Amino acid sequence: MITTLRRYLDTWPVRAFFMIMVASFIFWGVGDIVKLAGTSTWVAQVGGQTIEAMALQTEFQRSMAMVSRDLPAGQEPSPDLRRRVANDTLQRMIAQSALSSELRELRIVTPDAAVADYVRAMPAFRGPDGAFSKPVFDSVLRNNGLTEPRFLDMLRSDLAQRQLLGTISAGAAASDLAITPLYMSEFEKRSADTLEFALAAAPEPPPPDDAALQRWYDNHPDLYMTPEFRRIKAIVLSPLSLARDLDATDAELKTAFEQNRTRYVTQAKRSAQVISVDDEAKAKALVETWRATEDWTAMQAAAQAAGASAVAIDDSTEAQFPDPDLSRTVFAAVPGAVSDPVKGSLGWFIVKVTNAVAGREPTLADVQQQVRDQVIAEKAADLMYDRANKVDNLLANGTSFDDLPGDLGLAGLAGTMDREGNTTEGTPAPIPGGTELRTAIIAAAFQARAGDPPRLTEVATPSAGGSAYYALIVEEITPAALKPLDTVQERVLEDWKADQQRRSQEEAASRMLAAVKGGQSFSDAAVVAGLVPRLTPLMTRAQPGEGVAPEVQRAVFGLKLGDATMVETAEGFVVAILAEKVEPDPKADAAGYDQARAAITRSLSNDLTVVFTEALRLRANPKIDQKKLDQVAQP
C-alpha cells in the first residue's frame, strides 16, 4: 500500500493537488496572522505608551463601584452614566500616563524607604495600639480590591507626581487686585429688619363644606394612597449565615491568638498635668509652689507668670505623649505626687500623674470568644465565593429556593413589604443582614417583576466588612390604591386647613411687602400687620446670624440698602429690608485678608496643576479607540 502511495506521489496530477493544498494553507494562514496582527488590544495610545483594555476595565470597575455607592440602593447605573464614568476614567489614565512619561524624562523617583514610611504613617493602617498593623493593612487593601504590589505602585507613582505638581503649583501667588474683591465679598457684614408671618400663628380658617374637602381630596390623590406591597421569597448568603455552621479548633484558636496578640493588648494609659519651662531655676521654684498649693488652677496662673506653659494630657499611652523624655517621666512618676524637674529635649518638665490605668496582656482564655469569632469570620469569608458559585450554578439550572441543599449556609426569608421595607402592619420586615444588604433587597424587590427568575447578586457591606449575596423572586404584587375619602377624612381636613393657613400668611406677607415698596416705612407696615419687627444680628455670607433662616440670609445679600423682599421658609414667610451694610477693612483685619489670600492661592495652585497636566496630555497627542471604550462601558 505504501509503495503504491509513493508511486502516485511521483505523478504530476497528485503533485499539482498538493501544491494547491499548500497554497491554500499558506493563504488562509497568512490571512489569519495578518488579521491577528491587525487586532489591537489598546484603548488609547499616549505618546509611546498604550492603555490596555484590561487595565481600563479594572479601573473602570473600581470607579463604578464608588459611583454606585451614591445611587439609591439597588438602582443599576444607566448606560449614559457608565459611558461618562468610562470616559472620565480613561481621561484620568491618559493624564497619569502623560505625567508618568514626564517623571521618567525628569528622572523623578520615590525611594522605597519613603513609600514605606508614608504607608506606616497612614491612619487607615493603624491597629488598636495606634501603631502600623500589617493585618489591618491587608484587610483594608482586600476590602478595596487591591493587592499589596498594586497599592504600593500606585502610592509610589502618586508621591512622585506630588513632587512634580507641588513644584509647579508652588509658584502660584495671588495679587491684591484678585484678593481684595473676594475679601470684600466674603467678610462684608449685613443686618436686616425682618417680620415673620409664621404658619403656626395663622388664624383658624372657617370650617369647610363637603364640596371643598372633596375638591382637595380629588386634587391631591398622591397624599392618600395605600403603598404598593410585594410578597417576596429570598435567600441570603453572608459571612453571618455561613458562620452558623462553622467552628474553630483549639489549634486554630491558638495560632490566631499568637498571630494577632497585639490586637488584644490593652496599652497602659496615664493622665498628667504638665508644666514645661526653659529654665531649671524656674522649674525648681514651680515645684516648691506646686507642692505647697496642690491646686492646678493656681499652678496654671503661676506657670504663666513665670513664662512657662501648663497643660493637662488625658488618657494617653506612652507613645501618644509629644516628647519621649516627657513620656518616660510620666510613666515613671508616682501617681498623685509632683515630680522633681526633669530635663528633656524641649526644656524642663514637672509632672503630676492624676490617673493611671495599667496595661494588660490577656491570655487566650481571657479573649477566647473574640478569637473564635475572628477565626470563624475569616473561614466564612474564605468560603463565600465558593458557596456563591455553587448557588449561582444551581439557580442557573432552574433549582428552586425550596430545593437548594441545606449545607450551603443560606438564610431564607419570605413575606410582604412596601417600598420602605415595612410589613402590612407597619413594622420593619425581618430581613437578615446589615443595613446595606437590607436596603439592596428592598430596592431589588421593587425593581423585579413577578415571575422573573432569581439572580444571585453581590452587595458590598462595609458596615459588616466584606460582602454578601442575595437572590429573590416576586410572588405577588398588590398595586398602590387610593384610600376612600371616608377613611382619611380627618387627615384631609388637617391638610386643607394647613393649606388655607399657608395661603393666609402668604397673602398677609405680600400685602406688607407691597406697602413697603409703595413707600410706607417698615415699622408702620409692621404696626398695620400687628407684628413686631426684629433686627437680625450682623452676618456674613458664610456665617448666618443666630435665628436667621438660610433662605433669609441668602436673600439679604442680594439686596441694596432700603430694598425689601419676601422669602418663604419652613416656618412661614419672612419680609426683610436691608438695614445695615458694613464694609470690611483689610488693614484692620489682617487675619481675614490672609485667609482670602490663602483661598485664592490654593485656587491658583489647583489651576496651575490642571493646566500643566492638560498641556502634558495634549503634547502626548492621545489616540482613543472609541469602539473599545464603548465596549468597556457596556454592562
Question: What Cα–Cα distance (Å) separates residue 271 from each residue in 66, 266, 290, 331?
Answer: 42, 16, 17, 10
Predicted TM-score (pTM) of the model is 0.53
**Considering only CA atoms, which of 147, 165, 145 is closest in space to residue 100?**
165
Q: What distance in Å separates the CA atoms of residue 173 and residue 461, rounded to the nearest whole number?
A: 45
Residues 125 and 70 in one domain: yes
Residues 319 and 235 in one domain: no
Residues 240 and 127 in one domain: no
Cell numbers describing residue 130: 495606634
Residues 379 and 242 in one domain: yes
pLDDT of residue 6: 45
Residues 444 and 303 in one domain: no
- Asked if residue 335 belongs to a domain, the reply is yes
Q: Tell me the pairing of strands 572-582 and 189-198.
A: antiparallel
Give residue 5's Cα distance to chain centre. Answer: 78
- Asked if residue 623 belongs to a domain, the reply is yes
Residues 522 and 542 in one domain: yes
Do 471 and 391 touch, CB atoms closer than 8 A?
yes
Residues 28 and 63 in one domain: no
For position 572, which CATH number holds?
A: 3.10.50
- Out of 455, 479, 503, a domain closes at 479
What is the tally of structural domains in the chain?
Answer: 5
pLDDT of residue 202: 92
Question: What Cα–Cα distance (Å) separates residue 576 from each residue in 190, 195, 520, 522, 569?
Answer: 12, 7, 14, 9, 12
For position 136, which CATH number holds?
A: 1.10.4030
- Asked if residue 578 belongs to a domain, the reply is yes
Residues 18 and 126 in one domain: no
Do 502 and 509 touch, CB atoms closer than 8 A?
no
pLDDT digits (tens, 9 = 90+) for 481-517: 999 999 999 999 999 999 999 999 999 999 999 999 9
- Out of 429, 459, 479, a domain closes at 479
- Asked if residue 367 belongs to a domain, the reply is no
Angle at CA of residue 238, ends 234 and 240, nearest 5°: 115
Give residue 354's Cα distance to chain centre. Answer: 39
Q: What distance in Å separates the CA atoms of residue 268 and residue 316, rounded to the nearest whole number?
A: 8
Residues 202 and 122 in one domain: no
Which long-range contacts link 61-70 to residues 24+ away (Cβ below 8 Å)? Answer: 62/145, 63/88, 63/89, 65/145, 65/460, 69/460
**Considering only CA atoms, which of 214, 201, 199, 205 is closest in space to residue 500?**
205
pLDDT of residue 215: 94
- Asked if residue 589 belongs to a domain, the reply is no
Residue 551 DSSP symbol: H
Residues 626 and 519 in one domain: no
**Considering only CA atoms, which of 635, 241, 244, 243 is closest in space to residue 437?**
241
Instruction: List the alpha helices (DSSP H) in 315-428.
Output: 324-332, 368-396
Cell numbers describing residue 470: 442575595
For residue 140, what are the contacts with CB-CB under 8 A and spacing of at least 6?
124, 125
**Residue 410 CB-half CA count within 13 A:** 26
Residues 386 and 463 in one domain: yes
Domain that holds residue 437: 229-247+373-479
Residues 133 and 214 in one domain: no
For position 335, which CATH number holds?
A: 3.10.50.40
pLDDT digits (tens, 9 = 90+) for 339-348: 998 887 668 8
- Asked if residue 417 belongs to a domain, the reply is yes
For residue 97, what are the contacts with CB-CB under 8 A and spacing of at least 6?
46, 47, 49, 51, 620
- Out of 327, 357, 387, a domain closes at 357
- Residues of the chain under the 70 pLDDT cut: 1-40, 71-75, 128-129, 143, 145, 345-346, 463-465, 635
Q: What distance in Å separates the CA atoms of residue 252 and residue 243, rounded to the nearest whole number?
A: 15
